[in-house]
Structure 1
Amino acid sequence: MFTGSLVALVTPMDSKGAVDRASLKKLIDYHVASGTAAIVSVGTTGESATLAHDEHIDVVLQTVELADGRIPVVAGTGANATSEAISLTQRFSNTGVAGCLTVTPYYNKPTQEGLYQHFKAIAESSELPQILYNVPSRTGCDMLPETIARLANIKNIVAVKEATGNLSRVSQIQVLLDNKDFVLLSGDDASCADFMQLGGKGVISVTANVAAAEMAELCRLAAAGNFAEARRLNQRLMPLHQDLFIEANPIPVKWACKVLGLITDDTVRLPMTPLSDTARPVVERALKSVGLL
């Protein structure tokens, strides 16, 4: 279940900022129909930073309920306090959640030993499969290949979302791994095809929010060894990979979801603000260029 195209799902909200259950169901149905491998609920793209603790839990549980066994759901459980990450992780035991995605602690910049002890403590607190998440551009903290390889030896740490965009990391991690079943997932849509050619098994994707079938097909082609076709498809999707980040994620992708009728409103919570008037035509052109509009 932790291979192929996993979507980093947006959290749809109404005009007042409350979670929009009807739009959430529509999104889930769309991903089931499109062949998405799994949903990651309330990660960075799901606005974990601005959801209250109880809301965070509720959105994940609603996603599991609405998915109704049709598609695996991975819960975002990251926090920069180890105790909070453990609390979130334990809350999802026996709920139907397939695993947890836990980002490196943000802002407090732990050492590599601190990162190892943080993720070790989380993994030992739960039997749920754990996916590490390394995204230095958002957290100010880079988990090095040596630390990832150490953590891969812990039984229920099964994968990493590597979002540096540095393709040399794939080989660096693989060389160090004793656990050959450990899964490497791209966290960078633009380099996903090349990441998989180097040995990665899939992507946790922002682009898949609006191009779910295309990202599923890209991953299928790459997994089958058809890298030339995978790269061609990736090149066609490149305007989305780039322009969905013209402003901070998830501002552009939420606007795109609304334009495509996947959600009712593109509301984001402060300090995020709606997509600017100058950025809207750029995202619209990207959607048109790949045939989504």
Structure 2
Amino acid sequence: MGALRLTADAVRGVFAIMPTPALDGADDPAMADTLDRAETERAVNALIADGVHAIMSTGTFGECATLTWAELRDFAEILVSTAAGRVPVLVGATTLNTRDTIARARALRDLGVDGLLLGRPMWAQCDEENLVAYYRAVAEAVPELGIMVYDNPEAFKGKISTEAYAALAGIPQVVAAKYPVFGPQFEADLNAVAGRVRLLPVDRDWCTAYELGPTDVVACWSGSASCGPLPHVELSRRLLGGDVAGARAIAGELGAASAGFFPEGSFALFSRYNIQLEKIRINAAGYIKAGPCRPPYVHCPEEYAAGARASARRFAELDAAYRARVPAAARGQR
């Protein structure tokens, strides 16, 4: 076994989630190769230049579920070659079964990714024993890769229990968890992993989560960083630098910019249109050209799309405001 490419100690700062840019016409199921390679390279360079601390993709709105394996492999290769070791790169390998997931994970390892953003099979809900066995099997197959557990209760038919988190923390390759829905269970889960696994709240919840464990909650995940990451990077600088009050003010700005993004304020309803709404918002913000959604996740009710576009405008304005304050030479400093 080689050394872990991504350790828990290295999980720090803003883990930006980017879409898989799609060419015009990608919403047509007859289109065989939808990957916008030039925009992928440009977007990775932009995110790194603006100071994000890691890049993740091919989760939900990275369209792991709708990319062909050839597209996902090529996308991962561009992420790795463009990042060129400047920041860690985590790529999703989730499939409907353990064997295919392991095959993808091994191929991604050979391409040079640092870690996996890994959900669990969801055709049938995994109980705790099967869930832990799945992550252990993948970890043993690719022992060099750090694993970011993807704890999305809607996508994977349930929240990971505190007991399962305690068991997952015993797998050395499980170094972090993307924690989309912050709530009362977070503190219990944080205690269960006992510093061995970094639990990452979404950017706007980071300050609240940080106060529950200042030495452990030292990273966040952010999809809205793909709308322009400068406020997110400043949030990290303030919070990890000890300016909690300043960080809380920025988190409030991020929360205000997110208002209306969840249709009717419902995460469950949002999850039905997660891919579409994220790509609508990113396209409208203009920082990354995400392109159209890949089928079958194409249609989105217009009233929901309008909320995403309004959120995009606010995020673009917020990023522009921070861009005016932070000199270009200082943006990539981590």
Contact kept? 2:152, 2:179, Cα under 8 Å = yes
The answer to whether the 8 A contact 1:161-1:184 is kept is yes
Match of 2:135 in 1: 119
1:108–1:288 Cα change, 3 Å = same
* 1:64 and 1:97 in contact (8 A); partners too: yes
Most deviating of 226-235 and 268-277: 268-277
Shift of 1:122: 0.7
Q: Does 1:7 align with 2:16?
A: yes
Of 225, 241, 258, which aligns to 2:283? 258
1:217-257: CA deviation from partner (whole Å, max 9, x where unpaired): 21232223322222211111114334444452232332333
- Kept in 1, the 8 Å contact 2:169–2:196? The answer is no
Contact 1:193 1:219 in 2 (8 A): no
Cα deviation for residue 12 of structure 1 reads: 0.8
Match of 1:40 in 2: 56
- How far did residue 141 of structure 1 move? 2.5
Secondary structure of the corresponding residue to residue 267 of structure 1: coil
| Partner Cα distance (2:82, 2:236) in 1 | 25
Aligned partner of residue 50 in structure 1, secondary structure = coil
Contact conserved, 1:123 with 1:157, CA < 8 A, in 2?
yes
Question: Do residues 192 (structure 1) and 217 (structure 2) align?
Answer: no
Is residue 91 from structure 1 mapped to residue 116 from structure 2 by the alignment?
no
Match of 1:78 among 75, 82, 94: 94
Q: Percent identity?
A: 25
Return the alpha-carbon distance in structure 2 between the equivalents of residues 147 and 191 of structure 1. Answer: 23
Comparing 114-123 and 80-89, the one that deviates more: 80-89
Which residue is equivalent to 2:41? 25
Instruction: State the partner residue of 1:155.
Output: 172
Deviation at 1:277, TM superposition (A): 4.2
When structure 1 is superposed on structure 2, of 282-291 and 19-28 the one drifting more is 282-291
Paired positions, count:
290
Q: TM-score, normalised by structure 2?
A: 0.79
Structure 2: which 5+ runs fail to align?
1-9, 27-33, 264-269, 321-334
Distance 1:242 1:49, change over 3 A: farther
In structure 1, give the amino acid aligned to 2:200: L
Deviations, residues 25-63 of structure 1 (Å, cap 9, x unaligned): 221122012111111121112011101122222211121
Is residue 110 of structure 1 aligned with residue 126 of structure 2? yes
Q: Structure 1: where are the runs of 5+ without partners?
A: none
TM-score normalized with structure 1 length: 0.90
**Cα-Cα RMSD:** 2.2
